[in-house]
A = this chain, B = another copy of it.
Amino acid sequence: MTSIFQHLERAAAGDRVSLHSVLSALRFNADGLIPAIAQQHDTGEVLMMAWMNRESLSETLATGRVCYWSRSRGKLWRKGESSGQHQQLRSMALDCDGDTLLLAVDQTGPACHSGRRSCFYIALEQDEAHITSSPMIDPDTLYGGTDGQR
């Protein structure tokens, strides 16, 4: 059977398809989750990767405010609900085989719970690792001392 994603490989820029047909073919993992990469829309900086379930994806498309699924807390995670550091959705794209999302967002302040703009701050090289950025904000200020809340 040819999947919708195999069909779309041959599509041209501007071709349209029903949202329902794409969403119903999404390839969630065994836990019902799909990885979502958040990229700052104007600078191109990759801020973080988190996970969405079907409900958080629908809510994000409907409201334009990014909502993930928190695996550690087992509930919807409206980004910024405790830190105030929201993500406004600018656009969303699905990849060729329907199992990864890329979100172009407008991030308020730091995306990372450590107080840094991006979560990707541990550089790995052939023979050492080093830290590439310092926190913009003390995480104790972000969360009022409730570590781990985002």
Contacts and interface: CB of A to CB of B under 8 A. Distances in A.
Contact of A37 (B13, B49, B91, B93): B49
B124 A92 contact: yes
A128 B91 CA distance: 12
Contacts of A81: none
Q: How many copies does the complex hold?
A: 2
A130 interface: yes
Interface of A: 8-19, 21-23, 35, 37, 39, 43-46, 48-49, 61-62, 91-98, 100-102, 112-114, 116, 119-135, 139
Contacts of A9: 113-114, 135, 139
Contact of A12 (B11, B15, B18, B131): B131
28 contacts: A9-B114, A10-B114, A10-B135, A11-B134, A12-B131, A13-B133, A16-B131, A17-B122, A17-B129, A17-B131, A18-B129, A19-B124, A19-B129, A21-B129, A35-B49, A37-B46, A37-B49, A39-B46, A43-B44, A44-B45, A49-B95, A91-B125, A93-B121, A93-B122, A94-B124, A95-B121, A96-B112, A100-B120
